[in-house]
Each structure stands twice: as structure tokens, then as C-alpha cells.
Amino acid sequence: MTTHPAGSIEQHPDIIEMRARYEAAAETPVAQGVNGLIALAGLYLAASSWIVGFSGLTNLTVNNLIMGIAVTLLAVGFASAYGRTHGLTWVTPVIGTWTIIAPWVIRGDMSTTSTIWNNVVTGAIALVLGAAAMGLAAMRRS
């Protein structure tokens, strides 16, 4: 004999109310702006190796492509289903931090000034925007 719960946790009134609050927060112009800028930062990071010209830096190129796609997908999730993805907002600042240090970790002495500046500026932007997205989630809790 198997027992089934009377209702799924997904249908609990508190969960439904919490998601509704997060969705309302995601619909504000500030949240939409932050999510849009996160998406643009991710797209730029993914394409930056070709824009800046990371010739001969294959590992850093692949890193930026993967991290950029990840940031872009996070932004899409935040924009389309913030009530379900707000718990992942901490990932964007982590990726931003990794992007800042990646030229030294991945290429060490082989990094060029342009690769370092590209990653430091793009990583800092992702870090700040990710922190802003986290702040939006925290403000809605109070």
C-alpha cells in the first residue's frame, strides 16, 4: 500500500503567495532593467573573445563562451520565471567573480592587457548586476 500526500507542496498557499510576490517584483521596471542588463552582459561575455580578439587563448575563449551562455540563461530564467529561479540569483555574482580572475587562473602570464581588461570589466558588471538581482529578491522578502 502506498500513501500519497493530500496535496503537493507546490500547491501550498504559502508557496503560491511567495511566488506571486516574486513574480510581482520581477515585473517592476527596475527588475526588468536589471534582468535585461544581465542578459546583455552574458551575451557580450559569450562573444567577447571574438570581439576583443583572444587569438591563441582557446581555453579562455571557451571559458568566456560557456560562462556567457550560463549568465544569459540565468537572465532568461529570471525574466520569465523569477518566482521559481530567484534562488539562483547568487550564481551571477559568482560567475562575475570567476570572470574577473579567469585570465590569471586559466592563462597566467600568457594573458594580454585586452583579455584582462575585458574580463575584469565584464566580470565586475556581472557581479554588480547579480548583486542587484539578489537585492531585488531580498527586498521582496521583507
Digit-coded pLDDT (tens) for 22-34: 665 556 778 789 9
Residue at 33 is within a domain: yes
**% of residues, the chain, pLDDT over 90:** 46
Residue, of 22 and 78, whose pLDDT is higher: 78
The confidence score (pLDDT) of residue 86 equals: 75
Mean pLDDT over the full length of the chain: 83
CA–CA separation, 38 and 29 (whole Å): 14
Q: Residue 89: phi, psi to the nearest 5?
A: -60, -25
| Distances, alpha carbon 10 to alpha carbons 18, 46, 74, in Å | 11, 35, 22
The domain in which residue 129 lies consists of 15-141
Q: Is residue 1 part of a domain?
A: no
pLDDT of residue 31: 79
Residue 77: inside a domain, yes or no?
yes
Q: Rounded to an integer, what distance in angstroms lies between the CA atom of residue 70 and that of residue 27?
A: 22
CB 100 within 8 A of CB 119: yes
Percentage helix, strand, coil for the chain under 3-state DSSP, each rounded to 5: 85, 0, 15
Residue 10 lies inside a defined structural domain of this protein: no
- pLDDT of 36 reads 92
Number of structural domains in the chain: 1
Instruction: Decide: residue 36, CB within 10 A, 0-12 exposed, 13-18 middle, 19+ buried.
Output: middle
3-state secondary structure of 5: coil
pTM of the model as a whole: 0.78
Is residue 76 in a domain? yes
Res. 136 pLDDT band, cuts 50 70 90: confident
